[in-house]
Structure 1
């Protein structure tokens, strides 16, 4: 209890610092606007890239694409490179607004934007691996600092650099992506070629974040200090409002804990094409994609060896002020340690909102199914493996990986006031195949297969977010996992997660 109190005390001390920073920019720190709307006219959180679900609080969300639509002018975004600071600030603007647009020529065609982030995240797990490993309680405090420099040379050339410092304090065991002393987090150029009525083409070489689609299978890993980043080349064609085509050839960045020592991972390669048409079928958006993720010396329940995995998928989605729908299916083919890969995944997220009612209620339903391996001796690898999974697909606790998992999650979302969002519901979880195990957390380590029920357990989830100003936000997470009888008899434990996060972006 004393450890938890000391961690919370540290976070409480950090919160006034964020508030003090906010007061420096008080002239520009305003209450959030009404519910955001995406390109299809439906509500969506603007400050959130795929993989993040903060309050629905700001207009016109940014597109997570090179050359794509930027966020609303003068509002910090979760993906910092999607921000719009093109407007020159007034002469009497606060300092933190002035440095977001520093003119470097008389015509204001060349300008530099300087920004940053300070984040403190207290996390407390009881049985973080649900009993897979002994002594698996952990209650660290994460601290994340960022400094951003964004140089624009006319409308078609930009250079973006983001430095990061990441620390973990008071941990019982280390989580590697939480510890990375000052390093080059992102560094890339965007060169855009205008094609007139035919759209535009943007080339992005360098190191960068790259969520794809809804960010469920290729996300950004926001729950940890270090997000997923890649280095290589990304090329994007956009015909605004009609079509985008994304092609990339990259290596994931391997994180080392010291300063300026992160490099591309020589044992992994990621390439593919992602196509999106926002209003292709009766107002529904349609995506299609192929990507290949190669890993040397990968370890799965089927063994250890080279994993060369192709994912072919399609997505159908739509958002209106009342209705949201997102259905995605993926099949995986390739080879793993001389075995043929035969895996699949299906993801559904839908809901209905009543925006004119008090507290703007939304009833939601999330359902996912990912294949397991029904026979470890048949020469086929049937366990689904995502390239960059958004583990908070289940909850912020990230107790489970996607492999061999089926879940059903009804939820209720309420907005007591415009800048506060509450979401709660039970998540029911099963194994897809009894011949395969239960896969835990980011590592993907698993419990051995066991006889008996497929039912794994139920997670009771609560999320609360408060967008205090357009720069300062707080989030709270609580998940209690109750293990099913069969899982408990085979080593599974009940677990609990509590998280409290404060973030200030300028």
Structure 2
């Protein structure tokens, strides 16, 4: 199939998605993971997306579409020998998803979701996470019992605040895994056991493959007992393997265990989220001893106009101080949310310290604006600066450079005129510090707008 024909094919499929969604007459509760929605109670009403096949069987159809335009000036902080890095680049991403959710009785579920993705305008061609013909995004069988549930097949995964496991919303193709997830819950207690391998995208139709070089498994528990309300607790262990890890001070087969806890909740106008992770394991012939501590705390002035929320994020993700001591100290965030620091997704949480004061306002309930200023340093100047996508990539391996990475000012907004529609925009200006300028890095400007629709 020639490139022009493939592009027309993908554009036609995205048009079909948009047309199908235009048939919607009512909106219900939409979830970040579409398979968690249950429209069965609306099947007896005027809902064009749900059909009651039998008394015990329902079929729900749904779709998502997103157009996202963004640009970087320059690319990769201008580091590198390519002309594109110094010139910058802008491009547009197109995403179309359609799914079917079959429920049999109260507990059995079959969920299938297909996706088609296109990219226009990027110099040098599309990234691997941005373009693909029609392929299976998710497909699994599930048993959703009152206490026990099991989901087996291809699926998206979110754990906690997406600090370690996320769906990778910024790029065009969301991250999915092949494997199984078993859950037990009773009241405020929940325990999940999971065993997955990530899905690697390929550009042609129905050619995505399960990774044989990476694996993720572990346990994740959430506790919210009334005796310690409003405090909630997550405890988890995650095992991670990949055939080839690469850091400034080590490379080779990586086998890493992450032991973490998260304390979160809210009381009156205060909200907080504190997370700590300790990692052990080995990479090549070196042992791993790494860690991170992250926090996000805020206070909402509900009595004031626009309900301003001043907040502060403070994070440390360990780096490696002595490259030749046989021990790697660089934290690996596994499969994180790439937009953790800002929508520009310029840096990854490895060998980094940052402070980010911010203020969030809501001029109207459907409009949210965030203004933040993020200051970033290397944890150890002997280690590299790391960038997305996961797994970590070292963009600066000069030993002994400065510690200050830089600061970025961000303005992000989200507007929901209707539960099915979302308009988002972001502007980021990054001032490079000595850790980047000594390697030829330059200041970066980033702009993004997106329009998303759900049916």
Question: Structure 1 length as normaliser, TM-score?
Answer: 0.82
Q: Measure, in 2, the Cα distance between the counterparts of 1:155 and 1:90.
A: 16
Task: Please point out which of 227, 246, 262 is paired with 2:208.
Answer: 262
Q: Measure, in 2, the Cα distance between the counterparts of 1:209 and 1:452.
A: 39
| 1:81 CA displacement | 1.1
1:487: which partner in 2?
436
2:445: which partner in 1?
496
The CA deviation string for residues 287-327 of structure 1, in whole angstroms up to 9 with x for no partner, is: 11101110002222123210000001111111245111000
| 1:412 CA displacement | 0.5
| 1:167 CA displacement | 1.0
**Conserved in 2, the CA contact under 8 Å of 1:438 and 1:449?**
no
Partner-residue secondary structure (3-state), 1:188? strand
Task: Please point out which of 148, 153, 157 is paired with 2:108.
Answer: 157
1:197: which partner in 2?
none
The CA deviation string for residues 8-42 of structure 1, in whole angstroms up to 9 with x for no partner, is: xxxxxx99x97x987754x536xxxxxxxxxxxxx
Asked whether 1:147 is paired with 2:98, we answer: yes
The alpha-carbon distance between structure 1 residues 160 and 24, as it changes in their structure 2 partners (threshold 3 A), is closer
| 1:486 CA displacement | 4.8
Asked whether 1:405 is paired with 2:355, we answer: no
The alpha-carbon distance between structure 1 residues 80 and 498, as it changes in their structure 2 partners (threshold 3 A), is same
2:144: which partner in 1?
192
Q: Measure, in 2, the Cα distance between the counterparts of 1:309 and 1:22.
A: 43
**Conserved in 1, the CA contact under 8 Å of 2:260 and 2:277?**
yes
2:39: which partner in 1?
85
Partner-residue secondary structure (3-state), 1:393? coil
The alpha-carbon distance between structure 1 residues 184 and 23, as it changes in their structure 2 partners (threshold 3 A), is closer
| 1:356 CA displacement | 3.0
Q: Measure, in 1, the Cα distance between the counterparts of 2:343 and 2:20.
A: 27
**Conserved in 2, the CA contact under 8 Å of 1:22 and 1:471?**
no
| 1:440 CA displacement | 2.1
| 1:229 CA displacement | 0.9
The CA deviation string for residues 390-447 of structure 1, in whole angstroms up to 9 with x for no partner, is: 1211001000011101110000101111100100011000000011121123152320
Asked whether 1:179 is paired with 2:131, we answer: yes
| 1:463 CA displacement | 0.3
| 1:452 CA displacement | 5.3
**Conserved in 1, the CA contact under 8 Å of 2:273 and 2:296?**
yes
Matches within 5 A, 1:219-298: 219-240=166-187, 242-279=188-225, 281-298=228-245
**Conserved in 2, the CA contact under 8 Å of 1:350 and 1:365?**
yes
1:98: which partner in 2?
48
1:76: which partner in 2?
30
2:11: which partner in 1?
none
- Structure 2: stretches of 5+ with no match in the other structure: 1-13
The count of corresponding residues between Structure 1 and Structure 2 is 433
Question: Structure 2 length as normaliser, TM-score?
Answer: 0.91
Partner-residue secondary structure (3-state), 2:398? coil
Asked whether 1:451 is paired with 2:400, we answer: yes
Once the two structures are overlaid, the 10-residue window that deviates more, 384-393 or 324-333, is: 384-393
| 1:490 CA displacement | 2.6
Partner-residue secondary structure (3-state), 1:104? strand
2:9: which partner in 1?
none
Partner-residue secondary structure (3-state), 1:81? helix
Partner-residue secondary structure (3-state), 1:129? helix
Matches within 5 A, 1:254-403: 254-279=200-225, 281-320=228-267, 322-403=269-350
| 1:216 CA displacement | 1.0
The CA deviation string for residues 474-493 of structure 1, in whole angstroms up to 9 with x for no partner, is: 00011100012453133221
Instruction: Compare relative contact order (CA 8 Å, sep 6+) and give the higher one, 1 or 2.
Output: 1
1:464: which partner in 2?
413
1:28: which partner in 2?
26
The CA deviation string for residues 376-400 of structure 1, in whole angstroms up to 9 with x for no partner, is: 1100111111111112110010000
Asked whether 1:124 is paired with 2:75, we answer: no
Q: Measure, in 1, the Cα distance between the counterparts of 2:20 and 2:304.
A: 35
**Conserved in 2, the CA contact under 8 Å of 1:391 and 1:402?**
no
**Conserved in 2, the CA contact under 8 Å of 1:220 and 1:390?**
yes
| 1:496 CA displacement | 1.2
Task: Please point out which of 142, 149, 155 is paired with 1:208.
Answer: 155
